[in-house]
Amino acid sequence: MAENKTQATNISVASFFDAIEDEQRRQDCIAVATLMEGATGEHAKMWGPTIVGFGQYHYKYESGREGDFLIVGFSPRKQNLTLYVMDGFSNYGVLLSKLGKYKTGKSCLYLKNLSDVNMEVLRQLIAESVQYMRTKNHIEG
């Protein structure tokens, strides 16, 4: 069975941030990292070359495929700051209505600029997602 392509690495998060050329994007990443560290109580770790993740959980599908993945994380992509909210957004309609400007995918929250969103609402969404993932996966935190 194939391994998960995105795995935790020993790449330095600080070096990753230092390599972000756009100053505003770098500051947004530092702000999101601080927010996610507060929500998880865990330090940032690189997952693959471009994802900053916090915490981890073990998954196992009925197919037998299993592995470890981050509980919450983000990546500064060219078009958006992409936040990975692993439980998706179906339970967060009220929070999303107060968040500001964003787009979503299945488990991705796309933000053009952090200044476009209400940071307190974003903090609450991340905290609730982390709590859900820990409860679902029987992780103390």
- Could you report the per-residue pLDDT of 5-29, keeping only the tens digit for each? 788 899 999 999 999 999 999 999 9
Write down the residue that tokens 């998880």 correspond to: 40
**Is the pLDDT at 1 greater than 90, yes or no?**
no
What are the respective helix, strand and coil percentages of the chain, to the nearest 5?
35, 25, 40
User: Quick check: 48 and 7 in contact, CB under 8 A?
Assistant: yes
What percentage of the chain exceeds 90 in pLDDT? 82
Supply the pLDDT for residue 141: 66
Domain ranges of the chain: 13-135
Please give the helix or strand (H or E) that residue 84 lies within, else none: strand 81-85
Label residue 8 exposed, middle or buried (CB < 10 Å: 0-12, 13-18, 19+).
middle
pLDDT at 44: 97
Other Cβ atoms less than 10 A from the Cβ of 131: the count is 15
* CATH number among 3.90.950.10, 3.90.1150.200, 3.90.180.10, 3.40.50.620, domain 13-135: 3.90.1150.200
Work out the angle at residue 73's Cα, subtended by the Cα atoms of residues 64 and 92, and round it to the nearest 5 degrees.
90
Q: Residues 50-85: pLDDT tens digits?
A: 999 999 998 888 888 888 899 999 999 989 999 999
Q: Identify the CA nearest to 84 among candidates 52, 119, 48.
A: 52
